[in-house]
Chain A
């Protein structure tokens, strides 16, 4: 599968990764190369095969409904690049 520059731009946008215009061609080539490699899976017959999301053969463990966490704002904000009055700060979002 060949990816073009526009596709790379769209994917990069979805992934919130800034990509310079002069990188697009090279990236498109790389990604096309990779996709060609993984496309070999199309030759495998998987009719009737259940997808495997997890190798863990377990029941989903459930926890009791008690408050055991939170109330640790210092820890939560400890690495914040910008904070004020207990809030995280970000560039203003216009809705």
Chain B
């Protein structure tokens, strides 16, 4: 069912294209040997080249080239064996050279695609237009002084991949799913850490609206969105704004707008209203980048199993649901953790535990998967104890809590606390007899039709056996005795 926004004059469709800037994971910058770490003291990770001192020249970082190719392959995209660096000329305080070294006519990566996993389980394919390498700019701080801006060039020259999608998205949810999936792929590849809060991944949205069947109308670009949640909000707001403009008889202007997350609105960037003529031309300090097919194939051979493939495999080999598989593969480390627990065990049981109690405990303690509340081996051990009937599912929950608390192994805890399941039918019978004998009036009520009391009896039997009675057996025997 297509996403539409209801306006006064009818239903409107949304057309969205996204430009994602992803900071490439590398030790040094794209064209200089300065470091790329986040959060360093101002201007301490700046080389003479980054500061655009007179006579300075760029030399390209081989790792950045590799990461771009790796990413292109991960997006099932065409790798262009010849690409050219071009200068994008404009003036700004955070752009020391007065131009950004980017790629224009001949980017390193061409068309590809990303498959979106929608919340309802369906998938959608979004086309990638291109991916190119470019320098990041420095940072300006405008709030440190009443009349001055402070410029820090640490980020100037850091390698970015600009990933441009085709305008294939039709709803804010699709945009969110796209960024989510793209981020996941980049993290799997190790080409970008996808940390939007720190700015290592930024998304600009090109948004336009139209009535069904129309060609594309004018689009506006929204910048300054640093979370997926804000991206959705910004797109929703902007779509409504444009619809209002049209329905009031106006026209939408092609412009850049800033997302204001405090006010929840997009604002025109008046200062950048002046037409930008970037005067792109091939950078004469750099020769064309020529790759061999052998080089590309070499990188292809080192690609990890990517989310889509891993998800398909989890569904096929482990019999997981589309939803569960999707959740598990979103982060590679989570998927690896699950597989370690599931290895040689019932995958569905493993999945329930990883996605259930384990995930809850992780969230509660604010843990990340590289610092889990219990190890995969340990959790696997717990699953084993359930599988061979040593403990019931209910007891396992208790054991799990103790595992988290004490860090002890599940088998040890079961032994220590004497939590072994009672499966001896004789003992269970005895317990049931005791409960029924102690509650004759309730027995009469049950036999008289109050079926709900069955649960009461089960509860009492559990209490009587310290929770250790095998629930299935309790059920069967109690049923028989109350018949």
Query: How long is the Cα–Cα vector from A60 to B284 in the complex, in angstroms?
Result: 12
Binds B, one of A30-38, A40-48, A67-75: A67-75
Given A86-B42, A92-B147, 18 more A-B residue pairs with CB atoms under 8 Å apart are A56-B287, A59-B287, A61-B59, A62-B59, A65-B63, A66-B27, A67-B35, A69-B33, A70-B35, A73-B42, A76-B153, A87-B144, A89-B151, A93-B140, A93-B142, A93-B149, A94-B142, A95-B271
Query: How long is the Cα–Cα vector from A38 to B59 in the complex, in angstroms?
Result: 33
CB distance from A37 to the nearest CB of B (A): 21
Q: Give chain B residues whose Cβ lies under 8 Å from the Cβ of A61.
A: 59-60
Residue B151 contacts which of A73, A90, A95 (CB distance < 8 angstroms)? A90
Q: List 18 A-B contacts (CB under 8 A).
A: A60-B286, A60-B289, A62-B60, A65-B64, A69-B33, A70-B50, A71-B44, A71-B45, A72-B46, A76-B48, A84-B150, A87-B42, A88-B153, A89-B149, A90-B148, A90-B149, A93-B142, A95-B271
Query: How long is the Cα–Cα vector from A67 to B32 in the complex, in angstroms?
Result: 9
Q: Give chain B residues whose Cβ lies under 8 Å from the Cβ of A65.
A: 26-28, 61-64
The answer, yes or no, to whether B434 is at the interface (CB within 8 Å) is no
Contact A60 B60 (CB under 8 A): yes
Query: How long is the Cα–Cα vector from A69 to B286 in the complex, in angstroms?
Result: 20
CB distance from A78 to the nearest CB of B (A): 10
B: interface residue count bin: 35 or more
Contact A66-B277, Cβ < 8 Å, known A59-B287, A59-B290, A73-B43: no
Query: How long is the Cα–Cα vector from A4 to B199 in the complex, in angstroms?
Result: 44
The answer, yes or no, to whether A63 is at the interface (CB within 8 Å) is yes
Q: Give chain A residues whose Cβ lies under 8 Å from the Cβ of B27.
A: 65-67
In chain A, what residue has the closest Cβ to B281?
Answer: A53
Judged by DSSP, the binding face of B is loop
Query: How long is the Cα–Cα vector from A95 to B140 in the complex, in angstroms?
Result: 11
In chain B, what residue has the closest Cβ to A71?
Answer: B44
Contact A91 B33 (CB under 8 A): no
Contact B46 A76 (CB under 8 A): yes
Contact B65 A54 (CB under 8 A): no
Query: How long is the Cα–Cα vector from A91 to B93 in the complex, in angstroms?
Result: 10
Mark interface residues in B254-267 (1 if CB within 8 Å of A CB, else 0). 00001000000000
Query: How long is the Cα–Cα vector from A68 to B31 in the complex, in angstroms?
Result: 12
Identify the interface centre among B47, B282, B289: most chain A CB within 10 Å of its CB: B47
Q: Give chain A residues whose Cβ lies under 8 Å from the Cβ of B360.
A: none
Query: How long is the Cα–Cα vector from A91 to B271 in the complex, in angstroms?
Result: 15
Query: How long is the Cα–Cα vector from A68 to B145 in the complex, in angstroms?
Result: 34
CB distance from A76 to the nearest CB of B (A): 5
In chain A, what residue has the closest Cβ to B278?
Answer: A14
Query: How long is the Cα–Cα vector from A62 to B62 in the complex, in angstroms?
Result: 5
Q: Give chain A residues whose Cβ lies under 8 Å from the Cβ of B209.
A: none
CB distance from B62 to the nearest CB of A (A): 4
Question: What are the 8 tightest A-B residue pairs by CB atom distance, in nearest-first order?
Answer: A70-B34, A65-B63, A68-B33, A69-B33, A69-B47, A87-B150, A62-B62, A88-B151
Contact B65 A70 (CB under 8 A): no
The answer, yes or no, to whether B214 is at the interface (CB within 8 Å) is no
CB distance from B276 to the nearest CB of A (A): 9
The answer, yes or no, to whether B141 is at the interface (CB within 8 Å) is yes
Query: How long is the Cα–Cα vector from A43 to B34 in the complex, in angstroms?
Result: 48
Query: How long is the Cα–Cα vector from A86 to B27 in the complex, in angstroms?
Result: 23
Residue A91 contacts which of B51, B59, B91, B148 (CB distance < 8 angstroms)? B148
CB distance from B153 to the nearest CB of A (A): 7
Q: Give chain A residues whose Cβ lies under 8 Å from the Cβ of B64.
A: 65
The answer, yes or no, to whether B204 is at the interface (CB within 8 Å) is no
The answer, yes or no, to whether A77 is at the interface (CB within 8 Å) is yes
The answer, yes or no, to whether B269 is at the interface (CB within 8 Å) is yes
The answer, yes or no, to whether B388 is at the interface (CB within 8 Å) is no
Which residues of chain B from 143 to 162 have any CB-CB distance to chain A below 8 Å in the complex? 144-153
CB distance from A86 to the nearest CB of B (A): 4
The answer, yes or no, to whether A26 is at the interface (CB within 8 Å) is no
Residue A87 contacts which of B43, B282, B286 (CB distance < 8 angstroms)? B43
Q: Give chain A residues whose Cβ lies under 8 Å from the Cβ of B140.
A: 93
CB distance from B298 to the nearest CB of A (A): 15
Q: Give chain B residues whose Cβ lies under 8 Å from the Cβ of A68.
A: 28, 33
CB distance from A9 to the nearest CB of B (A): 13
CB distance from B166 to the nearest CB of A (A): 29
The answer, yes or no, to whether B49 is at the interface (CB within 8 Å) is yes
Query: How long is the Cα–Cα vector from A16 to B91 in the complex, in angstroms?
Result: 8
Query: How long is the Cα–Cα vector from A73 to B45 in the complex, in angstroms?
Result: 8
Contact B61 A63 (CB under 8 A): yes
CB distance from A36 to the nearest CB of B (A): 22
Query: How long is the Cα–Cα vector from A70 to B50 in the complex, in angstroms?
Result: 9
The answer, yes or no, to whether A49 is at the interface (CB within 8 Å) is no
CB distance from A3 to the nearest CB of B (A): 15
Q: Give chain A residues whose Cβ lies under 8 Å from the Cβ of B141.
A: 87
Query: How long is the Cα–Cα vector from A18 to B95 in the complex, in angstroms?
Result: 20
CB distance from A42 to the nearest CB of B (A): 19
Query: How long is the Cα–Cα vector from A68 to B33 in the complex, in angstroms?
Result: 5
